[in-house]
Structure 1
């Protein structure tokens, strides 16, 4: 199943130490740095990615939808917040969506809609790990010298509920 990653843009920018510094210099600089980071991640993991920004302060020259480097960018209309747009997208996408935000209200609404949720810091760690593995490689083949004795039990461990197993599978695809 394809994953649609829906990101609360300003939330992720302001939670990230490197992006927050750029955001303090210039708002547009922070947005561009986030899109560049996500475009590099998209080259490694070809998931559909949408970043949602608050657009109430944006001039009317900008459309509510844009696309840059393969990343869909959405701005909220005047009178609504990016959180409202994210909730609406999570309701529409349901189980296909993975919502990235540190806002508790957004996370609980997305989870109630059936979407998987992830904290902004955890998503940034996933991006960093994907970049690291791309540079390092997926690992070298380890030659086995045969059977290794172990005391590990072979029976089934405690199994998570089906909904949580599916959510874990979506997160592991990142």
Structure 2
């Protein structure tokens, strides 16, 4: 399973729709990003660690929240930036597991690359997310158009006929 570390505020400040939301609600932008990453992670089967800086919050001990099977949201502890958190984690697993770090911070990209991770810019990741959103929408539309909502709709006609005969006792 691929592990993806995402610098949350870096993403919020670089994705067009999140920047707009952030202008009136930072919390709203965080929730929208969480929703987008949850869909992406579930579709791709990737484990995503979304890391937000909380290093300026006095007395903050850090916080982790799990969203389903694939997304973990981390707020760093006082004095720890998202970059430092990501670097530590990548240092521990970067050469053992497949790891990708999403950030547009060029220094951060170099550091994590040296520690065994693949790097991706925020805008590259944005385009990948948008591509997956289109695939998810198409899949939903296709299932709706075909009307494949019951077992009868999903199995071959000859198998369905055999099952009907079994039910009738023939």
Identify the TM-score tier after normalising by the shorter chain. 0.7 to 0.9
For structure 2, the residue ranges without an aligned partner over 5 or more in a row are 140-170
Aligned to 2:8: 9
State whether residues 4 and 97 of structure 1, in contact with CA within 8 Å, keep that contact through their aligned partners in structure 2.
yes
Name whichever structure is richer in helix by fraction: 2
State whether residues 86 and 106 of structure 1, in contact with CA within 8 Å, keep that contact through their aligned partners in structure 2.
no
Kindly indicate whether residue 131 of structure 2 is the aligned counterpart of residue 126 of structure 1.
no
State whether residues 55 and 76 of structure 2, in contact with CA within 8 Å, keep that contact through their aligned partners in structure 1.
yes
For residue 87 of structure 1, report the CA deviation from its aligned partner.
Answer: 0.8
Aligned to 1:72: 72
The SS at the match of 1:105 is helix
Aligned to 1:86: 86
For structure 1, the residue ranges without an aligned partner over 5 or more in a row are 138-174
Structure 2 distance, partners of 1:65, 1:6, is 14
Q: CA RMSD in A?
A: 1.8
Between Structure 1 and Structure 2, whose CA radius of gyration is higher?
2
For residue 64 of structure 1, report the CA deviation from its aligned partner.
Answer: 2.1
Aligned to 1:22: 21
The SS at the match of 1:66 is strand
State whether residues 16 and 124 of structure 1, in contact with CA within 8 Å, keep that contact through their aligned partners in structure 2.
yes
The 5-angstrom pairing of residues 152-171 of structure 1 reads none
Greater shift, 60-69 or 19-28, is seen at 60-69
Aligned to 2:46: 47
Deviations 1:138-159 (A, max 9, x none): xxxxxxxxxxxxxxxxxxxxxx
Aligned to 1:37: 36
TM-score, normalised with respect to structure 2: 0.74
For residue 32 of structure 1, report the CA deviation from its aligned partner.
Answer: 0.6
Aligned to 2:115: 113
Structure 1 distance, partners of 2:31, 2:82, is 18
For residue 56 of structure 1, report the CA deviation from its aligned partner.
Answer: 2.3
Q: How many residues align?
A: 136
The SS at the match of 2:134 is helix
State whether residues 35 and 69 of structure 1, in contact with CA within 8 Å, keep that contact through their aligned partners in structure 2.
no
